Amino acid sequence: MNSIRLIKASAEDALLVHRLQREAFMPLYERYRDDETSPVLETVSRVAEKISDSDFWVIYHGDTPVGGVRVRRFENDDEAARNISPLFVIPEYWDKGIGSEVMKVLFDTYSDADKWTLATIEEDVRNCHFYEKHGFIPTGTRSVINERMTIIGYEKRC
């Protein structure tokens, strides 16, 4: 594919990232009604905080911004861990291989990572399959959000 680019977000991108995040997560919010955890309900100021305290990338397909991905770094004496939270693409660009391209770019960009972690919705078989296809395995951690939704952890060792 190679038609995607990741451009590091700055404070000035908070409104754009917020809009893309709301659009991308709205179908999941409508299905699961996760009023306490959904990125749909985050404020622009919360998005700006995330941009300032991590590596937040805007995903471009050609010249069009279509999503985003946040990577946080955790270091200790024995390993360098990276956490993805969130990764999102707006629905109009789903099923075009963009997420897979993003994963490849992330793995190349953070080639020093010993481990990757993330969390996703257990009931969302599509997302679980996507992460498993990229080498992530369930960790066994589970957090029930409501009667329709449970968040599960995944990790990938490098």
Reported as half-sphere exposure (CB side, CA atoms, 13 A), residue 101 has a value of 19
Integer Cα distance of 76 and 94 in angstroms: 36
Single pTM value for the model:
0.94
Closest CA to 98 of 13, 12, 20: 20
pLDDT digits (tens, 9 = 90+) for 19-51: 999 999 999 999 999 998 999 999 999 999 999
pLDDT digits (tens, 9 = 90+) for 96-142: 999 999 999 999 999 999 999 999 999 999 999 999 999 999 999 99
Domain 4-113 CATH class label = alpha beta
Residue ranges of domains in the chain: 4-113
